[in-house]
């Protein structure tokens, strides 16, 4: 049975019917990206993903990465696709053509990324992190740094990473011990150890550019004293040629549960006292600079997770149509039927379907908002869009990766015992998906970010703007008789969420701050459920309008499916979110009052 990555009809729906991205072509910046051009881009992305990347998914998982005689090798099957990926100029889809990009809208690029990551996201981490590192150079680099590094990174000739985590400084980045000492020539000598570095070392390209967080000697403690540096694996001379190897050594690669095709490395910087780097941006402003890359990376992680879920769902649907098992509950013929006829299987498939569709809409919507920030000439409008993005980033990473893992678990369940064995793709999708709940800030940190930073941002205006957008969709839904019950339930939930946000925000600024943060995760979870309900209701409004106007025959089943996704989620899953909200409002103190000894385990 052929593995499937993403539903093209659904991607077209989000791009053209929900977000109407072809309207971007009315602006000079995106003039060439008409509907025809967008469709051609998605066609090419799908073809490349299916023909070149998908065959490497299971092979790369089996081969893994190796560290032998000081050199890291990655799956052999990755080399040809990487060359073709760069020839297609896929790495920097949204960036300026001056530096090797295609200059396309971010929403369109994210749709292409759905295919790439669904085909093999271990592979996609090499170009994905390179783009993020390149964005740091583009935004904070000097003209010389841009000239030396940017085009070679955006075209994939060199790759990039992100060096934050240390053995004693994981989530607490401010505790890092890597140091930087300024030299007379303006460079810095870097010394320290970094761990869990995705794509940290490999033989895919001739050079790897490491953005590194370190503390300049004498700088303040904590995050206030952190600076950002560019540290190449091979030193780059002023004329752009490669010099001597820098003192950056891979000391080990991790044996992981999933994403075996990506080299997750431990790196020692300056073990021989000869690691050099150049300051990227301003002294002691490294964390604020790195957040640019981290926000992009968190959206990418959401896409990685959703792409696993999308593949798992479509595989499960096709398997359920073909797998004959058990007899019908209503037709007493005694003959076996495809398992998709069984109510519990249909419940699981509809759960998977509604999550995947809602999550895809959310991620591409964030890309759309980023495009609007670029295109808008009104500063207040820019601020509004950016504020909504800031609220949605922890949801797009934390909530989406949580629910994607659940979808992948359902994907195994549909297959039964076959889902648990390597002959089928479902178990790898589950394993690969699991890391998305951990890296780029564990999902608990995403919940803390939502509560501690995002809710109160700009006096709560971004959260109010987001709720205003949801209210607009509710108002549109009320115009359709069939959607009025959907709209009513979502409106009640939204009002309750607003009450809860105010309550929890106040609690976080009181002596009961620990109780507030103990409730941060269920609050993020409930917020995500309401945002999913919004996305699905938005889809249902469009589908209802199209059904009333008389769609093409081939689209009727798809639009009816949108109505059922919204109905199922709003009537079967959203009520559970209301229960989560009630637990948040109680602010129960058991989790913070229990003594450490009471946990047992000794």
Tokens of 552: 């093409």
Is residue 52 part of the annotated active site? The answer reads: no
Count Cβ atoms below 10 Å from residue 330 Cβ, excluding itself. Answer: 6
Distance CA 477, CA 381 (A): 25
Cα atoms found within 13 Å of the Cα of residue 297, Cβ hemisphere only: 28
Three-state SS at 118: helix
Which positions ≥6 away from 88 have C-beta within 8 Å?
44, 48
Distance CA 82, CA 67 (A): 20
Distance CA 422, CA 534 (A): 37
**Which one is catalytic: 95, 166, 427, 440?**
440
Tokens of 267: 């790196």
Of 500, 493, 497, residue with least CA distance to 570: 493
Angle (nearest 5°) at CA 348 between 346 and 351:
105
Distance CA 301, CA 234 (A): 28
DSSP letters along 341-407, please? Answer: GSHHHHHHHHHHHHHHHHHHHHHHHHHHHHHHHHH---HHHHHHHHHHHHHHHHIIIIIHHHHHHHH
Q: Maximum CA pair distance of the chain?
A: 87
Q: Which residues pair with 350 in a beta bridge?
A: none
Which positions ≥6 away from 177 have C-beta within 8 Å?
166, 168, 169, 192, 215
Q: How far is CA 148 from CA 137, 297, 367, in A?
A: 10, 24, 29
Distance CA 565, CA 568 (A): 5
In this structure, what is the dihedral angle of CA atoms 576, 582, 587, 589, given to the nearest 10 degrees?
Answer: -60
Residue showing tokens 């011990």: 177
Tokens of 397: 């990473």
Distance CA 31, CA 107 (A): 15
Phi, psi dihedral angles at 215 (to 5 degrees): -110, 125
End-to-end CA distance of the chain: 49
Do residues 215 and 277 lie in contact, with contact meaning Cβ atoms separated by under 8 Å? no
Give the catalytic positions in this structure.
Answer: 440
């Amino acid at each position: 049975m052929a593995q499937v990555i993403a539903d093209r009809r659904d991607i077209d729906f989000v791009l053209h019917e929900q977000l109407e991205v072809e309207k971007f072509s009315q602006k000079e910046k995106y003039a060439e990206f008409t509907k025809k051009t967008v469709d051609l881009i998605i066609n090419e992305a799908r073809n490349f993903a299916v023909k070149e990347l998908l065959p490497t998914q299971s092979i790369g998982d089996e081969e893994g990465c190796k560290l032998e005689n000081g050199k890291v090798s990655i799956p052999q099957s990755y080399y040809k696709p990487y060359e073709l990926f760069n020839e297609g100029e896929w790495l920097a889809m949204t960036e300026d053509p001056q530096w090797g990009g295609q200059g396309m809208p971010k929403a369109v690029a994210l749709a292409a990324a759905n295919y790439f990551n669904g085909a093999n996201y271990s592979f996609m981490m090499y170009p994905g992190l390179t783009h993020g590192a390149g964005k740091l150079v583009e935004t904070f680099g000097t003209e010389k740094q841009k000239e030396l590094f940017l085009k070679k990174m955006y075209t994939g000739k060199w790759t990039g990473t992100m060096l934050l985590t240390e053995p004693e400084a994981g989530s607490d980045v401010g505790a890092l011990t890597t140091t930087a000492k300024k030299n007379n020539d303006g460079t810095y000598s870097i010394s320290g150890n970094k761990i869990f570095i995705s794509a940290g070392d490999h033989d895919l390209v001739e050079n790897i550019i490491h953005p590194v967080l370190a503390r300049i000697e004498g700088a303040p403690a904590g995050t206030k004293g952190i600076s950002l540096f560019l540290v190449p694996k091979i030193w780059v001379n002023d004329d752009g040629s490669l010099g001597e190897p820098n003192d950056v050594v891979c000391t080990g690669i991790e044996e992981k549960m999933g994403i075996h095709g990506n080299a997750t490395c431990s790196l020692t910087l300056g073990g021989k006292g000869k690691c050099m780097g150049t300051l990227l941006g301003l002294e002691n402003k490294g964390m604020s600079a790195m957040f640019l890359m981290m926000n992009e990376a968190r959206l990418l992680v959401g896409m990685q997770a959703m792409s696993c879920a999308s593949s798992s769902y479509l595989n499960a649907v096709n398997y359920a149509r073909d797998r004959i098992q058990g007899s019908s509950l209503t037709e007493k013929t005694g003959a076996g039927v495809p398992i998709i006829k069984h109510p519990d299987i249909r419940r699981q498939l509809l759960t998977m379907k509604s999550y995947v569709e809602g999550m895809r809409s959310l991620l591409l919507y964030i890309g759309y908002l980023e495009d609007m920030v670029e295109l808008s000439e009104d500063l207040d409008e820019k601020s509004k869009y950016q504020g909504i993005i800031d609220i949605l980033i922890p949801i797009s990473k934390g909530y989406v990766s949580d629910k994607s893992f659940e979808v992948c678990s359902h994907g195994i369940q549909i297959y039964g015992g076959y889902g648990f064995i390597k002959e089928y793709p479902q178990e790898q999708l589950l394993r690969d998906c699991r890391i998305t709940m951990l890296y780029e800030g564990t999902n608990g940190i995403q919940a803390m970010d939502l509560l501690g930073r995002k809710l109160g941002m700009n006096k709560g205006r971004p959260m109010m703007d987001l709720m205003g957008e949801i209210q607009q969709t509710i108002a549109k839904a009320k115009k359709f008789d069939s959607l009025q019950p959907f709209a009513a339930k979502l409106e009640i939930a939204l009002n309750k969420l607003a009450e809860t946000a105010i309550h929890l925000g106040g609690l976080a600024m009181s002596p009961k701050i620990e109780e507030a943060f103990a409730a941060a995760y269920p609050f993020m979870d409930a917020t995500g459920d309401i945002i999913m309900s919004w996305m699905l209701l938005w889809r249902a409004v469009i589908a209802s309008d199209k059904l009333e106007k008389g769609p093409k025959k081939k689209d009727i089943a798809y639009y009816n499916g949108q109505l059922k996704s919204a109905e199922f989620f709003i009537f079967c899953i959203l009520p559970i979110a209301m229960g989560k909200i009630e637990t948040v409002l109680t602010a129960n103190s058991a989790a913070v009052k229990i003594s450490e000894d009471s946990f047992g385990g000794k």
